[in-house]
Amino acid sequence: MSFTGPSMASGGKTASKAFDFGKTVVVKPKGKHQATVVWLHGLGDNGSSWSQLLETIPLPNIKWICPTAPTRPVTLFGGFPSTAWFDVEELSEDAPDDLEGLDAAATHVANLLSTEPADIKVGIGGFSMGAATALYSGACFSVGKYANGNPFTANLSAVVGLSGWLPCAKRWGKELEGVDGAADRAAALPILLCHGKADDVVSHKYGEKSSHALSSLGFKDVAFKSYSGLGHYTIPQEMDEVCAWLSSKLGLDASSSSLK
């Protein structure tokens, strides 16, 4: 998740691995459909578990798409297979980034959003590794392409990351400088980061550094929320803030949420 060291280069690979993604659960909007958000689970989890929570929150105008990551060997677990959006070697600032896995996950997310009607706003959110994938997707949207050079096709209106981090933080500066319109897309993309101060899995400082990194890269609409005593999980207060933020940034009907 390198903030200070170089990210792992793609090494000029011409062949890519095939990733078999798991089951996708869709939570249909209970009111008028105004937005669609892909929500990405954390390491070892699945889309179904988050869909049960998202079903209960007061945002009836959002359709939630909850995919499940591929089951793959994870270096952090000594090669033991687990559902993971990409491979991780360690949770530290100088760990290399799995660009191939990140590109595959972000491409899968964009494909899930590709059939949404043109008048529907779309966003990406996630928890832990899912948050990292969401933030990576937001950066790819801003530069207009993935690390492998393929075009990023989804037109994002919001990104939410809970208890996560920004992958490849060092590479985005050069990417944003070299693409027409990238700075404007970055400046206009709303991003919400939330992190517990007692998180013992993904340290709070990684979320804080990710927020600072995004701001320094020209993402001008970044909000960072900290929660005292919160570990590596979510709480109603945090989800309440996510609801209120999404209602505001996606321009949902006032009746779509009881939160002000």
Q: Catalytic residue numbers?
A: 128, 199, 232
The number of angstroms, rounded, from the C-alpha of 142 to the middle of its chain's C-alpha atoms is 14
Contact of 3 with 209, CB cutoff 8 Å: yes
**Alpha helix ranges (H) inside 189-252:** 204-216, 236-249
Rounded to 10 degrees, what is the CA torsion of 41, 44, 48, 50?
Answer: -40
Tell me how far apart the alpha carbons of residues 135 and 4 are, in angstroms, rounded to a whole number.
Answer: 18
Tell me how far apart the alpha carbons of residues 213 and 208 are, in angstroms, rounded to a whole number.
Answer: 9
Q: How many CA atoms lie within 13 A of 165 on its CB side?
A: 26
